[in-house]
Amino acid sequence: MKQPAKDPKLIKQQRQKMLQFRRQLPIYSGREAIIETIKANDAVIVIGETGSGKTTQIPQFILEAGLASHELGTIAVTQPRRVAAVNLAKRVAEETSSTLGGKVGYTVRFDDTSSNHTLIKYLTDGMLLRELLMDELLLKYKVIVLDEAHERTLRTDMLFGMIKNIQRIRKDKAAQGEDVEPLKIVIMSATLDADKFSEFFDMAKILYVSGRLFPVDTFFTKEPQADYLDASLVTIFQIHLKQGPGDILVFLPGQEAIETLTTLVKEYAAQLRRSQQQVLACPLFAALPPSQQQHVFDPAPENTRKVILATNIAETSITIPGIKYVVDCGLAKMRGFNPKIGVESLLVHPISKSSAWQRTGRAGREASGTCYRLYTEDTFRELDDDTVPEIRRCNLAAALLSLKASGVDDVLSFDYMDRPSRASLVRALEELYSLSAIDDRGHLTELGKRMASFPLDPTFSKVILQSADYGCTKEALAIVSLLSVDSIFYTPSDKREQAAEARRKFLHPDGDHLTFLNVLQAYWEVKGDLGWCRDHFINVRNVKVALDIRDQLVRFCERNNIPPQVSCGTDTDQVLKCFLTGFFRNTALLQPDGSYKSVVGNQIVKIHPGSAMFGKRAEGIMYNELVFTTKHYVRNVSAIQSSWLPEAAPKYFNNMRASV
DNA sequence: CTCTCCCT
């Protein structure tokens, strides 16, 4: 790495300043003990709150102590979120007075600053899972740090079992005299649920490091609240009228609640007298375009208090400065999965105690604060300690395929920290079998191996891999990319009619898949003109991400000898037939009464109002997603003919006929 | 007549 020449004296001064800064962190006093513990143990659990500096300092301690090196192997630190991986690497590069991509780097999708000089690499847990496909023992790493373990994301949970297994294999190999370095594991978590992690990693040593959160006064309601919107509104204005300066962060379950409350807060705020401090309501949720999300970071005008109305996005992903008060309605939308009927759900649930504390902590990041819980202390006591890990409430098809492709063939007896139900595992295996990703003995097929190599759900990778046969790879790549991002359409609640009108221009009579194709065509014709996107309510950020995904998928196709430019032109039935090879189980047939009944499970399903097929009748429909919210809604829907089904999945539909 | 959140 060539670096610009610098005054050696200046560099020394900078290093000195950094060291001084690091020494002030609470964790620094425990430096020697931490190093000794990691040196003496195969696995260590580090428990520390936000602000303890564990994620930036411990990798540096490990490196400074010589526990990792280019010869022994380097350090990987995983994060559940991309921004965190990027920012941590930048921070630690600065602290070590090195250039990003030198000693310290990061790897996230579409952005890799690591090099063969890198000794500390921050990466998303998803990227480490991809590395496992290429290097089953992760031999380039001497130390693997899994951070934010308490969040229990699906990917972190998979990594728990996989690196535990890798550690055992590498230890055995080293003991037998093979030239393999044993692996060290460090698990970092913010909650006090240390024993569970310790037990899983063979009674690993536990280290506690103190954090730097300020005290937060916490209040409960005396009585249960029947209407959390009303309770939120009252609490917001009680704080506003009676408490000192500082912004308010309100946690709500979803977009609808946020939009309703935003309107109410604005109405009440308009009644404040001119002489009083004013209120500015800022909604915040993932589907909000980035330009509007940015408003939460704008300093409030003079004499104005910001009230941020947010989903769970403000619990971990977005940190807003200046929050002094948190209002917690105690609810969140959560994904669920019923393996017996194979239906996902998205429903409002009470949060867990740890989630409540996480929300509370958002008021104490810069100074002491206050948290108002809109539920009673008894209700709080009855909450679950922790949120059910994602692995126990989602479809496991993609996870099991990736396990198998990383050398874990027996996924039923895999070492899960929290074992998914047998029904859920079996259902996922059945799905993989029906897609021909595994054979009748459960072994990965050639097709399955190729499917696992794509950064997509198995259903989508099947579509891409079959697209050569249908002569529509170009279309499949475009549509899969657009389906891989959050909606490319944006519908502001106050301009619903205009947004719908603008969208009508792209509408294809056969449904959403081909409508997406029309949108992309139009986007290319105007070369992504920002004004055009705004006028047509297109979420530019999501289209751009989709195009990045498309570029990446094109490269994967080339590697798999699938010509990416093959197009079916106007024969668009080919596209829908091709999608059926991945989504034949996600189909429903029109009933005499005009409703749709799913082919698998005989469930009445409704077409989501955002769909191009909403209110339309077709002999059959295919959909990418079936989620129970207020009803069984299907999203991303296209019209199909039932006669296409046996061709798309002969094995599946012949077996079904035999079993009826 | 509607969409918690994150990742490859």
Of A185, A209, A233, the domain-final residue: A209
Of A388, A415, A440, the domain-final residue: A388
Residue A357 has what pLDDT? 94
Residue A595 has what pLDDT? 96
Distance in angstroms, CA of A608 to C1' of B1?
8
Tell me, letter by letter, the H, E, C secondary structure of A460-476: HHHHHHHHHHHCCHHHH
Q: In a 3-state reduction of DSSP, which class is residue A414?
A: coil
The answer to whether residues A196 and A222 belong to one domain is: no
**pLDDT average per 10 residues of sequence, chain A (660 residues):** 63 80 82 95 92 92 96 97 97 94 96 96 98 96 97 96 97 96 96 89 94 90 95 96 95 96 94 89 94 91 94 95 96 94 93 95 93 97 95 96 96 96 95 95 96 97 97 97 94 86 93 96 94 92 95 96 95 96 96 94 93 95 96 96 91 63
The answer to whether residues A353 and A488 belong to one domain is: no
A406 within a domain of the structure (yes/no): no
A293 within a domain of the structure (yes/no): yes
A496 within a domain of the structure (yes/no): yes
Of A209, A237, A256, the domain-final residue: A209
Q: Tell me, what amino acid is at A624?
A: N
Residue A1 has what pLDDT? 46
Q: What angle separates helix A473-483 from helix A540-559, to the nearest 10 degrees?
A: 140
The answer to whether residues A175 and A266 belong to one domain is: no
How far is it, in rounded angstroms, from Cα A316 to Cα A332?
A: 14
Residue A22 has what pLDDT? 84
The answer to whether residues A183 and A247 belong to one domain is: no
Which residues span the domain enclosing A119?
8-209
A590 within a domain of the structure (yes/no): yes
Contact A99, A113 (CB under 8 A): no
Contact A126, A146 (CB under 8 A): no
Rg, Å, chain A Cα set: 26
The answer to whether residues A205 and A233 belong to one domain is: no
CA dihedral of A279, A281, A282, A284, whole degrees rounded to 10: 140
Which nucleotide's C1' atom has the smallest distance to the CA of A129? B8
Which nucleotide's C1' atom has the smallest distance to the CA of A348? B4
Residue A342 has what pLDDT? 85
Nucleotides of B under 7 A from a protein CB: 1-8
Tokens at A52, concatenated = 């303890």
A464 within a domain of the structure (yes/no): yes
Tokens at A80, concatenated = 């559940």
Q: In a 3-state reduction of DSSP, which class is residue A309?
A: strand
A409 within a domain of the structure (yes/no): no
Is residue A31 within a helix (H) or strand (E), and if so which, with residue range? helix A31-40
The answer to whether residues A143 and A62 belong to one domain is: yes
The answer to whether residues A173 and A225 belong to one domain is: no
Domain count of the fold of chain A: 3
Question: Phi, psi at residue A350, to the nearest 5°?
Answer: -65, 145
Residue A658 has what pLDDT? 47
A410 within a domain of the structure (yes/no): no
A186 within a domain of the structure (yes/no): yes
How far is it, in rounded angstroms, from Cα A149 to Cα A160?
A: 9
Pick from A83, A604, A166, A645: nearest CA to A403: A166
Residue in the structure block whose two tokens are 């490091």: A209
Distance in angstroms, CA of A456 to C1' of B8?
7
CA dihedral of A597, A603, A604, A608, whole degrees rounded to 10: -100
The answer to whether residues A181 and A230 belong to one domain is: no
Distance in angstroms, CA of A283 to C1' of B2?
18
Distance in angstroms, CA of A635 to C1' of B1?
14
Distance in angstroms, CA of A293 to C1' of B6?
17
- Long-range contacts, A170-177 (Cβ 8 Å, 24+): A170/A137, A170/A139, A171/A42
Residue A656 has what pLDDT? 57
For B1, nearest residue by CA–C1' is: A609
How far is it, in rounded angstroms, from Cα A81 to Cα A156?
A: 11
State the CATH number of the domain containing residue A322. 3.40.50.300
The answer to whether residues A231 and A118 belong to one domain is: no
Is residue A125 within a helix (H) or strand (E), and if so which, with residue range? helix A125-134
The answer to whether residues A201 and A225 belong to one domain is: no
The answer to whether residues A177 and A264 belong to one domain is: no
How far is it, in rounded angstroms, from Cα A585 to Cα A226?
A: 41
The answer to whether residues A144 and A100 belong to one domain is: yes
Residue A233 has what pLDDT? 97
